[in-house]
Structure 1
Amino acid sequence: MLSRVAERIYWMGRYMERCENAARLINVNTKLLLDLPRGTSVGWGTLVEIMGLDEYFSRDTEAADERSVMRFMLGDTNNPSSLLSSMANARENARITREIMPSEVYELINDTYWYLKDNASSAVARRERHLLLESVIQRVQQFTGLLAGCMSQNDAYRFISLGRNLERADMTSRIVDVGASRILPKAFAEDSASEPYSNILWMSVLRSLSGYQMYRQHVLDRVNADDVVMFLLQDPMFPRAVEHCLIQLNECFAHLPNSDEALHSVAALRRQLKTADFEALMANGLHEYIDTVQTEIGQIHQSIATTWFLPQVQVAL
């Protein structure tokens, strides 16, 4: 396989997963309003922070209102990770490499792009938003299902899987990093009133990853911060947990040539997750720990890029 083809389909996998993750985050933050007391403020700017898009957002995230964040997250072409931008990038990468995947896959991506282009602006209003977000989530899941059911499990498939699982691990770590207390900062102004809100907010974290039911099956305890963090980072069975994503990366690397550097990067992060004392980190230092995890995820991407993709040429201006 040509390096440029591998890079294109790797980024197609990442952009499709990014689109679904953004839709999930927006959807759960909207639904959170229904579970909270009237007049409670939800920090919409937190969505911008989770995605790491502060530099592209024109306003202070702490003072951001719902409509401005929705415009930015749904259809702003100046935002490289808006739903429309992510789908446009996935569509372009799929168009160039469409001969290596089932025709239904490209047709689905192309149709989803035009669906978003026609409807993203109207979904700023809450009534239309839920329908659009649920449709996007279902379409990306259909994309994943088409690949699993109709595409040969060859190197091309593995590079798409690498992109999907690395993006998924990155987003899960970002969601854990922000945590429920920053989605609703005012709820924690008084310690005596914090616990009921804390349970609701950590449930919203799980639901943003469709992990609430699986958490209840595996943990068999009420929703609490310590167990949620351990579940989302360490559980090897839940598909959106960081550990599970790393296992999937390992399986892909095992079938690709010259993968020693990438395997070492994954092994380093898995050791870091297994040896972490989350009880102590929750008391002090979780943010710094998650920063380290995200740095290691970035290192895995760098290992993939240097091993299998063409080097980026710096053009003198």
Structure 2
Amino acid sequence: MLSRVAENIYWMARYVERAENTARIVTVNANLLLDLPKGIAPGWRPLVDITGANPLFEEHYKDYSERNVVRFLLADERNSGSILAALMAARENCRTIRDFVPREVWELLNEIYLFAREDLPKGMTKGGRHAYLKRVIQGAQNINGLLSGTMLHDQGYDFLHLGRFLERADMTTRIIDVRSANLLPEEATELRPFETIQWVSVLKSMTAYQAYRRSEQIRVLRGPVLRFLFQNETFPRSVVHCIDALRTSLSKLPRNESALRVAGRLKRNLEGTEPRRLNQQQLHAFIDDLQVGIGDLHEELARTWFPPPPESQSQSQTQD
């Protein structure tokens, strides 16, 4: 397989996953603000914190108002993590490799991109936002299902998996890091009645609430939620499940030794830590280490299998 094709498949998968994850966090935040009393509700800035795009946001917007943050995350093409920009990038990567993916995937991706662009005015309104984001999420899931059911499970599919699960692991760690820190401070004992709402919102950001209840069979608490999202091997959005999926795909590729070593370090870090025992500062340091490892794995993939970018190439495809 040509390195250019492998890279395009990888980034197509990452951008589809990115668009879905962005739609998820905006949906859940809107619902969370309805559940928490005024004065302790986190507002909209945490969503930009999750993406790590604060410098870009502050360059173009005056404040973290609902309108500004929603526009930044849904429509701002300068933000590679926005829904519109991610779908546009996924579509462009897919366009260049149409011989390697089923035609129906190209048609579906084109359809969801056109919907996201043309219905954007409705998505920017409070009344139309939920339906807009739900359609984006379902579109991304349909694309992934169609790829799983119709694409040859060859090396191209392995690179598809690498893109999807690397992006998913990165977003899961970001959601946990920001949400666990920015909602209800540990020392605010008077806010304990709202702690469950906080952690339910973390689970719902990843559609993990029902799976958590079935797996843990206890009420929603910080420690069990952290254990579930980091270390439950059977939940598709947990960090360890993503790392295991990455290792499985890497094991099928040639010249995989360096990448497998990086993935192995990530797995050992997860296995050697009990997240539920970490205070907020320790949890943040633990997640920082994981995110550095995820970035290192992306760099190793690029060095091993992707062509070196020309000096003039845009920096939009970066490890955010």
TM-score (normalizing by structure 2) = 0.93
Aligned to 2:137: 137
Identity of aligned residues (%): 43
Distance 1:188 1:248, change over 3 A: closer
Aligned to 1:92: 92
Q: How does 1:140-289 map to 2 (within 5 A)?
A: 140-182=140-182, 184=183, 188=185, 191-282=188-279, 284-289=281-286
Q: Which amino acid aligns with 2:228?
A: F
Provide the rounded CA distance (Å) in 2 between the counterparts of 1:227 and 1:233: 10
- Say which of 286, 297, 301 aligns to 2:298: 301
Distance 1:214 1:71, change over 3 A: same
Q: Does 1:44 align with 2:66?
A: no
How much has 1:278 moved relative to structure 2? Answer: 2.2
CA contact (8 A) 1:49 1:61 kept: no
Q: Which runs of 5 or more residues in structure 2 are unaligned? A: 314-320
Provide the rounded CA distance (Å) in 2 between the counterparts of 1:232 and 1:61: 33
Provide the rounded CA distance (Å) in 1 between the counterparts of 2:207 and 2:267: 23
Provide the rounded CA distance (Å) in 1 between the counterparts of 2:23 and 2:151: 25
Q: How does 1:63-74 map to 2 (within 5 A)?
A: 64-74=64-74
Q: Deviations over 1:183-223 (max 9, x none)?
A: x3xx5497332222111011000001000011111112111
In terms of mean alpha carbon deviation, does 69-78 or 272-281 score higher? 272-281
How much has 1:63 moved relative to structure 2? Answer: 5.0
In terms of mean alpha carbon deviation, does 137-146 or 278-287 score higher? 278-287
Provide the rounded CA distance (Å) in 1 between the counterparts of 2:265 and 2:38: 46
How much has 1:179 moved relative to structure 2? Answer: 2.3
In terms of mean alpha carbon deviation, does 15-24 or 34-43 score higher? 34-43
Distance 1:189 1:296, change over 3 A: closer
In terms of mean alpha carbon deviation, does 305-314 or 277-286 score higher? 277-286
SS of 2:37's partner is coil
CA contact (8 A) 1:74 1:121 kept: no
SS of 2:99's partner is helix
TM-score (normalizing by structure 1) = 0.94
In terms of mean alpha carbon deviation, does 28-37 or 93-102 score higher? 28-37
Q: Deviations over 1:258-303 (max 9, x none)?
A: 1111111111010001111324422541111111100000111111
CA contact (8 A) 1:265 1:296 kept: yes
CA contact (8 A) 1:54 1:61 kept: no
Distance 1:196 1:59, change over 3 A: farther
Aligned to 2:8: 8
How much has 1:86 moved relative to structure 2? Answer: 0.2
How much has 1:124 moved relative to structure 2? Answer: 1.7
CA contact (8 A) 1:45 1:61 kept: no
The runs of 4+ residues in structure 1 deviating greater than 6 Å are 59-62
How much has 1:42 moved relative to structure 2? Answer: 3.1
How much has 1:36 moved relative to structure 2? Answer: 2.2
Q: Which runs of 5 or more residues in structure 1 are unaligned? A: none
Q: Which amino acid aligns with 1:22?
A: T
Aligned length: 313
In terms of mean alpha carbon deviation, does 220-229 or 155-164 score higher? 220-229
In terms of mean alpha carbon deviation, does 158-167 or 275-284 score higher? 275-284
